Structure 1
């Protein structure tokens, strides 16, 4: 919490229901130094209106110190939208950031629902996973062959789980091919299953990094579709729609630009339209009037790579960064 005076604080809030059907609103403070549980309010018998949420969040903001709060993160329900809009009217420097994880889930849900060939791949993968875990002898042989590596199972409410399931299959694909070619497999009574024959006949992420990661993901979609627009056009439409509506905010773009690991390696430029718009937004809404001149001067030194910033120590810190 001591770091909030220097780096600022993100307030995160969501609702959850326990096994006794009681409803709680949890509020957590976050900064690069870690998470701090701030408060929990039981609201089972209260109407969770925007005004009610506004009062609860404002109580916490005042306790933390409004000047320390950079952004509020919540789900995309209408009552939270109203609450945070009212808070932003009182504290214009505080930004509303939608939950990026939820936005990515919605994007993956769109892809699963709208792209036929993707849905077909998921269905085949589910058959493989179901088959492996349905038969004890098959499961034992799979675990022996893969050195006890497990396949991920899909979850109906988490569409990212479909992609994680595919990833888990691809990670052991070569080992599974060895398995179905082994004498142990041929001796298994399930060895002629058509489901497994489909497998062997087949062909084989934080705010400062989110914007660049989304750009990289977009390019990867195009490359993985062999740059065939008939395969990726609809996916990109869904991708761009969710990216702009539910995932990215000006703050994410600005954070990417202010991330020296990306900027110094030329992965992001101030002259990118998104970056220019984001930095104007930051100066206009998040920097207090008496700090704006100093902020712009420091920003200029940053993107011109002032020698005091680009010294050997800073370069060594960039080279040793874990995301490098």
Structure 2
């Protein structure tokens, strides 16, 4: 038995740091919060707003779940046209509190380039939120986490248009949390033992993969299992044709990796034993 970290909590902490330390992310998110707080503060105003949004609601963020900052921003962005029409309407101007400082500020935000900046934030953070949904759902996702995090890192750079000033600090935060709060060596081995990833063009046998296998070798195996385990790891790496007869090959894209091992791992009994345990 070996305990791993709570991945969902680690991703929440990463999203917290991105919000607090990346200024262009914080500014757009805070502007969305200003809109939501003002629109929901006054009952009559809120009722009229819902008529413009066809009763689609804005959502407050949650103080302890930092992904909710970005979900709140997404809810606001989804009502782009409706909120623009509302603050340009005669109904909006009739409310006295729309002329006070906070109301004027909301009008300025909604009529500014906030929408483009907000969409840039969502586009950049989107895959991280998807990874959070992956690990926060039902079922075992250990075999998918490592690859999902690698794809999220690449996407962050691409969606920042490779502008170093925008993505480099996010990458620093990403790597710090990935190593210290999110990815455990067991997750790396789970990716290695996920055949749909291992046999894909995206797979790279890097130092993390080797360190993960060494972690399993040193911490989870019985002494009498070590030699056979490493021999079977080498055989698996050689991609033997016996593992890829028609049915197991088809299962690569259609089944959970644990089921694949349960069905097709008889040639690698020791590796199969630990693959099923880790992927569960």
List aligned pairs for 1:119-130, cutoff 5 A. 119-130=26-37
Farther off after superposition, 122-131 or 102-111: 102-111
- What is the aligned counterpart of 1:314 among 248, 254, 265? 248
Alignment partner of 1:235 is 2:180: no
Structure 1 CA distance for aligned equivalents of residues 154 and 74 of structure 2: 19
How many positions carry a matched residue from both structures? 225
Quote the residue 1:177 is aligned against. Answer: 81
Q: How high is the TM-score relative to the length of structure 1?
A: 0.60
List aligned pairs for 1:262-281, cutoff 5 A. 262-269=197-204, 271-281=205-215
CA distance 1:310–1:131, shift in 2 (3 Å): farther
Structure 2 CA distance for aligned equivalents of residues 317 and 129 of structure 1: 46
List aligned pairs for 1:281-296, cutoff 5 A. 281-296=215-230
Aligned partners of 1:132 and 1:139 also within 8 Å:
yes
Q: Deviations over 1:59-94 (max 9, x none)?
A: xxxxxxxxxx3x22xxxxxxxxxxxxxxxxxxxxxx
Q: Comparing both chains, which one has the higher relative contact order based on Cα–Cα distances under 8 Å and sequence gaps of 6 or more? A: 2
CA distance 1:322–1:162, shift in 2 (3 Å): farther
Taking only aligned residues, the RMSD between alpha carbons, in angstroms, comes to 2.9
| 1:254 match: secondary structure | helix
Quote the residue 1:198 is aligned against. Answer: 109
Deviation at 1:252, TM superposition (A): 0.9
Aligned partners of 2:61 and 2:72 also within 8 Å:
yes
Aligned partners of 1:256 and 1:268 also within 8 Å:
no
CA distance 1:150–1:297, shift in 2 (3 Å): farther
Structure 2 gap ranges (5+): 120-130, 132-140, 258-280
Structure 1 CA distance for aligned equivalents of residues 180 and 189 of structure 2: 17
Alignment partner of 1:252 is 2:187: yes
| Structure with the bigger percentage of strand | 1
Structure 2 CA distance for aligned equivalents of residues 179 and 106 of structure 1: 31
Deviation at 1:149, TM superposition (A): 4.1
Aligned partners of 2:83 and 2:110 also within 8 Å:
no
Structure 1 CA distance for aligned equivalents of residues 197 and 56 of structure 2: 34
Q: How high is the TM-score relative to the length of structure 2?
A: 0.69
